[in-house]
Amino acid sequence: MLCRQGLCRGCLWEKMEVRGARVFIPPRRHRKVPRDYDCIAYKNRWGIEGFFAKLKQMARNRYAL
């Protein structure tokens, strides 16, 4: 599961780990004990989000003409 940093809650982590999902949410900076995460997988998240944003933009441009 890839999410932004604001969703770094302990209950979300626990629910996803119980389901067997791999969680790639970076820890908040103010946490006393930061959690480990795969920073490379988190960086790849932007490529996926950019792709879907581009698709949405093309759909909006289609109806604007």
The domain locations on the chain are 5-64
SS3 12: helix
Q: What pLDDT is attached to residue 29? A: 72
Cα–Cα distance for residue pair 15/65, rounded to 1 Å: 45
Q: Which of 38, 19, 16 is nearest to 27 (CA)?
A: 38
| Distance from C-alpha of 29 to C-alpha of 63, rounded to nearest angstrom | 42
What does the pLDDT profile of the chain (65 residues) look like in tens digits? 555 555 556 667 677 778 787 777 777 677 677 677 777 777 777 788 889 989 988 887 777 66
pLDDT confidence of residue 10: 63
SS3 60: helix
Phi, psi (deg, nearest 5) at residue 63: -85, -15
